[in-house]
Amino acid sequence: MPKSRPRVAILMGSKNDWDVMKAAEQALSELGIESDPRVISAHRTPERLVRYLADAEQNGIEVIIAGAGAAAHLAGVTAAHTLLPVLGVPIGSSELKGLDALLSTVQMPGGIPVATFAIGTSGAKNAGLFAAAILARQDESLRARLVKFREAQSAAVPERPY
Ligand code: RP5
């Protein structure tokens, strides 16, 4: 089956972030949403970032998820270069276990917004689900798939702990 056009970009500062960021790809793919995972660092490959963002909207990208660790400025710099919604995922790859990335991502000065998620895999998964919720506003069949996902999630919770 031919792949549909990616609607969500998943940017990450390092190949080493993929272990965490693949949770976003998985959440999207379970809802039938194609994504575009890229290793793009705001400080190691700044030109690659600007180039990617210049064409992102035209290429069909509607939401950008940006995950990075340490002094994480990927989500903020991304948001500075696009009007697309940017969902930031702090990654616990540093000595500070993601607290540095969390603060760097969440504490954006007023004017350039970044929606910030939990540190690590839960954040990446929820960023994927949040991107799906944004897309579902204009996509009835995706909305129906999201409803099914929530129902299945509820059904999987046992009534009793034993
Ligand atoms: C950040 O620095 C990346 O997002 C990564 O989480 C962290 C460490 O990168 P590597 O040295 O593992 O490539 O830019």
**What is the full DSSP assignment across 131-144?**
HHHHHHTT-HHHHH
Give Cα 150 to chain centroid, integer Å: 19
Ligand 1 neighbour 40 (Cβ under 6 A): no
Q: What is the largest CA-CA distance in the chain?
A: 55
Ligand 1 neighbour 14 (Cβ under 6 A): yes
Helix, strand, coil in percent for the chain, rounding step 5: 45, 15, 40
Ligand 1 pocket mutation, candidates 10, 11, 16, criterion most atoms within 8 A of CB = 16
Query: Tell me: the pLDDT tens digits for 121-160?
Result: 999 999 999 999 999 999 999 999 999 999 999 999 999 9
pTM above 0.95, yes or no: yes
Low-confidence ranges of the chain (pLDDT < 70): 1-2
Ligand 1 neighbour 91 (Cβ under 6 A): yes
Give CA separation, 20 vs 14, 91, 96, 112, 119, in Å.
11, 7, 16, 25, 10
Measured in Å, residue 149 CA sits from the centre of ligand 1 at 32
